[in-house]
Amino acid sequence: MIENGASDGGPAVKETLSAVEADLSRPWYRLRFSSAVEARFEADTATRRSRHLLIAGIVALVIYNLYIFNDSVIRPESLLISAGIRFGLMTPLGLAALYVIYRGISPTLREATMAATIVIAMLLSSANFYLSDSPHSFLDTFSFGLILLVGNIVLSLRFGFALASSLLCAVIMTSFVIPYAHTDNAVKINTLVVFTSSAIFTLLANYRLEASERQAYLLLLRERLGNEATLQSNQVLTKISTTDPLTGVANRRHLDEVMTQRWHEAIAERTMLGMLVLDIDCFKNYNDRYGHLEGDACLRRVAQEIQHHVRHELDLVVRYGGEEFVVLMPNASASSAFQAAERIRQGIEALAIPNAGVSHSPVVTISIGVAVTRPNTALPPSLLLLQADEALYQAKREGRNRCVLAQLQEGQSSAQAHRDTPHATGLASSDGETKR
Ligand SMILES: Nc1nc2c(ncn2[C@@H]2O[C@H](COP(=O)(O)OP(=O)(O)OP(=O)(O)O)[C@@H](O)[C@H]2O)c(=O)[nH]1
């Protein structure tokens, strides 16, 4: 029943939900919803409704034309006029209306077009019986209730349009029946009473049909919006639990969750996994000199800058704790990870955030340890962080504001990597004193 409903943002879902609740307790006689829900109802049901009108309209038109056999029996002398009315007027008009609906028009125009088609059918049917002098021609009027049946039940015109078209049909029929010369008044009164009863019964049924359709729609929409709201609340909670509130990047808990996952993905896809561990240099000095609030602002700018230099869809930026950040880089080669680290380091230096009183630089800088490996089942995921951390220590020892690469080879343990490459330029060694 609810088709292709647009997906709402959080507040929109809650607003629509309260509008739906309000509509569910609207007075029983009111069919229309509040404007926002009404627009949504139309949008959700328009395709289905147009399809229904098309099919029902074609069936009604075919049956209307089959009444040519009736014409041939009750008014054979004016069969040509009847054929002209059915095939020359009603059929093209009906097909034109259905084509307009098939092409797509506004809901109001759609209902108005179908209501107008019903009124025209009544007008032409009245003319059909009126133009014949056959003694049986008047019999037709007893079947005019079928025209109302088509409009009010088969097409299920929206109630306002059903009411308007039924009233117009009644006026048209009465104005043809009363002056008709070949029938006495008792028969005329009888046919008018039957027609009026048909109008009342079909309008009642029409009202019930629309009321039920709308009620069912509201209940379904409430359920769907309720589910969406719950889903969004869960997403908000998940976001809160995985995000660092100060900087907006991921927190350590999220890294812990993702790390093992990425490690196994890399094993399955035989790809490399890279990690940067970034630490703001002499941040204690910054805090002491400019205050904790400025320190917080600095952390935010650094986090923002890191995000500028990584691949948004792939890399995960994490505030690991204090003034230390981590970037997890799936499918990264040693050189691409090192280049990203260099871009970040230069970007932060270029921010030119003053950090007076520090010997190595007058502005805020960072040191970065880079580790890249091809994960395998013999190595633990924690190895990457360990190696990147050691590379970071080396960067600190070597004077800060630099990047150091510790590269693990395939199937190589942390110890092997260090044994094999302890003195290469830019690669982390495990000797020397550590900072912490
Ligand atoms: N403003 C602010 N400061 C923080 C936060 N978390 C940690 N810090 C500060 O970060 C500083 C870290 O100092 P240290 O670990 O001594 O390191 P450092 O001064 O950066 O020196 P190096 O790392 O050796 O370059 C401390 O002063 C902490 O108080 C935070 O959330 N906000």
pLDDT in tens, 165-204: 999 999 999 999 999 999 999 999 999 999 999 999 999 9
284 CA distance to ligand 1 centroid (A)? Answer: 5
Q: Residue type for 378, please?
A: A
173 CA distance to ligand 1 centroid (A)? Answer: 90
The pLDDT value recorded for residue 67 is: 96
Q: Which token pair is 367? A: 């040191």
Question: In angstroms, rounded to a whole number, what is the distance separating the alpha carbons of residues 124 and 147?
Answer: 11
On whether the CB atoms of residues 147 and 125 are closer than 8 A, the answer is: yes
Give the residues across from 367 on adjacent strands: 279
Question: In angstroms, rounded to a whole number, what is the distance separating the alpha carbons of residues 63 and 154?
Answer: 13
**What one-character-per-residue DSSP string does 343-380 give?**
HHHHHHHHT--B-TT-SS-SB--EEEEEEEE---TTS-
282 CA distance to ligand 1 centroid (A)? Answer: 7
Divide the 436 residues of the chain into consecutive groups of 10 and give the mean pLDDT of each group: 48 88 92 94 95 97 97 94 97 97 94 98 97 91 96 97 98 97 94 97 98 97 95 93 96 95 95 97 97 98 97 95 97 95 98 96 98 92 94 97 79 43 38 34
Residue nearest to atom 26 of ligand 1 (CA): 284
**What one-character-per-residue DSSP string does 3-36 give?**
-SPPPPPHHHHHHHHHHHHHHHTS-TT--S--HH
| Domains recognised in the chain with CATH numbers | 10-227 (no CATH), 250-420 (3.30.70.270)
In which region does residue 198 sit, left (phi positive, over 0), alpha (psi from -120 to 50) or beta (all else)? alpha
Report the nearest atom of ligand 1 relative to the CA of 281.
25
Question: In angstroms, rounded to a whole number, what is the distance separating the alpha carbons of residues 221 and 42?
Answer: 13
pLDDT in tens, 134-168: 989 999 999 999 999 999 999 999 999 999 999 99
Question: In angstroms, rounded to a whole number, what is the distance separating the alpha carbons of residues 82 and 76?
Answer: 9
The pLDDT value recorded for residue 12 is: 85
**φ, ψ for residue 319, nearest 5 deg:** -90, 110
Question: In angstroms, rounded to a whole number, what is the distance separating the alpha carbons of residues 191 and 142?
Answer: 6
Give the residues across from 403 on adjacent strands: 368
| CB count in 10 Å sphere of residue 305 | 20
Tell me how many degrees the CA angle 420-422-428 measures, rounded to the nearest 5.
120
Element (H, E) at 154: none
- Identify whether 323 is a catalytic site residue: yes
User: If we measure between CA atoms, which residue out of 366, 426, 424 comes closest to residue 396?
Assistant: 366
| Three-state DSSP state, 285 | helix
Question: In angstroms, rounded to a whole number, what is the distance separating the alpha carbons of residues 72 and 79?
Answer: 6
Q: Which token pair is 49? A: 């409704």
3-state helix, strand, coil in the chain (%, to 5): 65, 10, 25
Q: From the candidates 111, 228, 323, 390, which is the catalytic residue?
A: 323
On whether the CB atoms of residues 404 and 368 are closer than 8 A, the answer is: yes
223 CA distance to ligand 1 centroid (A)? Answer: 49
The pLDDT value recorded for residue 135 is: 85
Give the ipTM: 0.97
286 CA distance to ligand 1 centroid (A)? Answer: 8
On whether the CB atoms of residues 216 and 163 are closer than 8 A, the answer is: no
DSSP state for residue 408 in the 8-state scheme: P
Q: Which token pair is 23? A: 């509509």
The preferred substitution site among 281, 286, 323 for testing ligand 1, maximizing ligand atoms within 8 Å of CB, is 323
| Number of helices (H), then strands (E), in the chain | 15, 6
Rounded to 10 degrees, the C-alpha dihedral 46/146/57/219 comes to 20
Q: Which residues have C-beta within 8 Å of that of residue 179, sequence separation ≥ 6?
A: none
**φ, ψ for residue 320, nearest 5 deg:** -80, -25
The preferred substitution site among 246, 279, 281, 284 for testing ligand 1, maximizing ligand atoms within 8 Å of CB, is 284
In which region does residue 419 sit, left (phi positive, over 0), alpha (psi from -120 to 50) or beta (all else)? alpha
Residue nearest to atom 21 of ligand 1 (CA): 282
User: If we measure between CA atoms, which residue out of 406, 434, 387, 384 comes closest to residue 338?
Assistant: 406
The preferred substitution site among 277, 287, 298 for testing ligand 1, maximizing ligand atoms within 8 Å of CB, is 287
Q: Which residues have C-beta within 8 Å of that of residue 82, sequence separation ≥ 6?
A: 68, 71, 75, 128, 132
On whether the CB atoms of residues 177 and 188 are closer than 8 A, the answer is: yes
Residues with CB under 6 A from ligand 1: 246, 279-285, 287, 292, 295-296, 299, 322-323, 396, 400, 435
How far is C-alpha 374 from the geometric centre of its chain's CA atoms?
39
**φ, ψ for residue 312, nearest 5 deg:** -60, -40
pTM for the model stands at 0.64
